[in-house]
Chains A and B, each alone.
Chain A
Amino acid sequence: QKEVEQDPGPLSVPEGAIVSLNCTYSNSAFQYFMWYRQYSRKGPELLMYTYSSGNKEDGRFTAQVDKSSKYISLFIRDSQPSDSATYLCASFQGAQKLVFGQGTRLTINP
């Protein structure tokens, strides 16, 4: 079993919709959680970085961590076609060692 699980999708929604992307993790020692966005033929870019439980908002993006249920989420409001990409959740397993979910491929249809 992978330490971070993520539904690979694909997920397709109309422009303007609210998107919910989710991951679960099994290691209760995980404290730091990240969401990366990866466009085709590019490297991942960091979207959100959160510590422990709670919410963090940045523009149209909100990251949510629930450590009691080992569940992490990313919400995208007013989704745009430019948000079409693969979204990866991740956590640190050790010093600078990131463990990633499989990635969810998201398409926003105009």
Chain B
Amino acid sequence: KAGVTQTPRYLIKTRGQQVTLSCSPISGHRSVSWYQQTPGQGLQFLFEYFSETQRNKGNFPGRFSGRQFSNSRSEMNVSTLELGDSALYLCASSPGLVTDTQYFGPGTRLTVL
């Protein structure tokens, strides 16, 4: 079974721009979660989608948004990029039950200049 895939793997943007990251979950998985990983804050939960609905949300500003499509693929968007948004953005998929194991993708490394 193919794992979680994320595109692009690397991205360089400038302050004020916006960016869209994509995640394809493991086949059959209906839940997709997004995390931000930085050296200072570690791994922090952004949001989770299940069957196209946002089921849970972390403490991030409204500039961070996401969506999920009917095929379970998910995108996250960051608008008006700030230098502090430079991070590794990780996507994780699971079958969808509340405590199901999450399987992570390789991440998208975003650098904001």
**Residues of chain A whose beta carbon lies under 8 Å from any beta carbon of chain B:** 31-32, 34, 36, 41-46, 49, 88, 90, 92-103
Contacts and interface: CB of A to CB of B under 8 A. Distances in A.
B94 A96 contact: yes
Nearest to A8: B42
B48 A96 contact: yes
Interface of B: 4, 31, 33, 35, 42-45, 48, 50, 55-56, 58, 90, 92, 94, 96, 98-107
A96 B43 contact: no
A46 B98 contact: no
B105 A96 contact: no
Given A43-B105, A43-B106, A97-B33, A32 B56 contact: no
Contacts of A46: 101-103
Nearest to A42: B106
Contact of A98 (B45, B50, B55): B45
A96 B4 contact: no
Given A43-B104, A49-B101, A96-B100, A101 B42 contact: yes
B4 A43 contact: yes
Looking at A31, A43, A44, A45, which has the most chain B CB atoms within 10 Å of its CB?
Answer: A43
A10 to B, nearest CB: 13
A16 B6 CA distance: 36
